[in-house]
Amino acid sequence: MAENTQHELHQILENAAFAPLHDRAFLRITGPDATRWLNGMVTNSVQSLAPGEGNYNFLLNAQGRIQGDGTIYRDGDEFLLETSTSQVESIQQHLDRFIIMDDVELSPAYTEKQGLLLVGAKTPAILAASELPTLDPLHLSHAKSLLLLTPAAGSVPRYELWDDPASLAVLRESLSNAGAVEVSVASLEQLRLIEATPRFSQDIRDRDLPQETAQAHALHFNKGCYLGQEIVERIRSRGQVHRTFTAFRLTGDLPTLPAPIEANGKPVGELTSAAVVPLPEGPTLLALGYIRREALDTHQPLTYAGGTAIPRSPGNS
């Protein structure tokens, strides 16, 4: 298994790989009031999106706590919200509660389509070989029945391809013939840890505040009013939060999650994700979590049950 994921991770970082998308779902937001209403429900500026553009967003409650996350694309006169399958129902319920006198409709979208993630350093060349367009991060395009979109930028390019099952099977064969290799969920999780991308419900919980997650690209401070904005602005005016999302390198045992982090015998944070990653220099235990700023800024030695935690920059091991 370790040898397989080492090969797969190499394919992702140096070549091109693909994997089925089973954990993504879409909501379509339509209606004459959709732009104004949706802009007041999320943390980023969807009103400024041109057709085909997207941005990453949090959905907050009135106390500024994160209730969900997703990427929103403007698709012609409509909006398309992509999120995890585990969130889509709760996000729709959350949004539904705030449609009062607004001419807005929410509906599941692309439920008949299947998805494929194409990821890796050489994916633009693979797309070109398959006669498909390449897009900048956070963009959407249609090619006949195919929906092609790009998530937020990471350490390597990535694309999502959505189509009916028969067409996607043909596309899958074309990508394989062009040199892309199928990889496992475990390898994609290793990439997530390398890039330090938080996952909602695991690294981001409904008790967390936006600025604690270190996902500044989800926030827009000049877009106008939205649900939870008062708390976000209050934190901004104070300068910082007391704890922040951080990537770690661990020396010791694989922790049972969530795992408390201590400094000088006092709790200062927690680990929320961890896995052994087969890096070129050898198997390395990488983790994600939260740490109090004073412990981070003063470079205090950090420990967890089973080892030590060393803060690292995203993308660096």
Tell me the pLDDT tens digit for each residue of 221-265: 999 999 999 999 999 988 779 999 999 999 999 999 999 999 999
- How many Cβ atoms sit within 10 Å of the Cβ of residue 298? 9
Q: What is the predicted pLDDT for the residue at 240? A: 77
CATH number assigned to the domain covering 24-109: 3.30.70.1400
Helix (H, G, I), strand (E, B) or coil at 4: helix
Paired sense of beta strands 17-21 and 181-182, if any: parallel
- How many Cβ atoms sit within 10 Å of the Cβ of residue 139? 18
48-91 pLDDT per residue, tens: 999 999 999 999 999 999 999 999 999 999 999 999 999 999 99
Q: How far is residue 317's CA from residue 304's CA, in Å, rounded to a whole number?
A: 18
**Could you tell me if 293 and 245 are in contact, meaning their C-beta atoms sit under 8 angstroms apart?**
no
Residue 1 has pLDDT above 60, yes or no: no
Rounded mean pLDDT of the chain?
Answer: 95
12-56 pLDDT per residue, tens: 999 999 999 999 999 999 999 999 999 999 999 999 999 999 999
Q: How confident is the model at residue 314 (pLDDT cuts 50, 70, 90)?
A: confident
**Could you tell me if 278 and 308 are in contact, meaning their C-beta atoms sit under 8 angstroms apart?**
no
Is 212 marked as binding a ligand? no
Helix (H, G, I), strand (E, B) or coil at 231: helix
Q: How confident is the model at residue 317 (pLDDT cuts 50, 70, 90)?
A: low
Q: How far is residue 296's CA from residue 298's CA, in Å, rounded to a whole number?
A: 6
Q: How far is residue 312's CA from residue 193's CA, in Å, rounded to a whole number?
A: 11
Task: For 237-270, give one letter per residue: b (16+ CB within 10 A) or e.
Answer: eeeebebbbbbbbbeeeebeebbebbbeeeebbb
105-144 pLDDT per residue, tens: 999 999 999 999 999 999 999 998 888 999 999 999 999 9
What's the predicted TM-score (pTM) here? 0.95
Residue 2 has pLDDT above 60, yes or no: no
> Nearest to residue 272, comparing CAs of 305, 243, 247?
247
Which residues 6+ apart lie within 8 Å of 265 measured at CB? none
Q: How far is residue 28's CA from residue 22's CA, in Å, rounded to a whole number?
A: 19
* DSSP code per residue over 152-202: S--SS-EEEEEE-HHHHHHHHHHHHHTT-EE--HHHHHHHHHHHT---BTT
Q: How far is residue 73's CA from residue 77's CA, in Å, rounded to a whole number?
A: 11
Which residues 6+ apart lie within 8 Å of 86 measured at CB? 23, 201
Asked whether the bond before 258 is cis by omega within 30 degrees of 0, the reply is yes
Q: Name the token pair of 176.
A: 């394989």
Q: How far is residue 292's CA from residue 302's CA, in Å, rounded to a whole number?
A: 11
Q: How confident is the model at residue 315 (pLDDT cuts 50, 70, 90)?
A: low
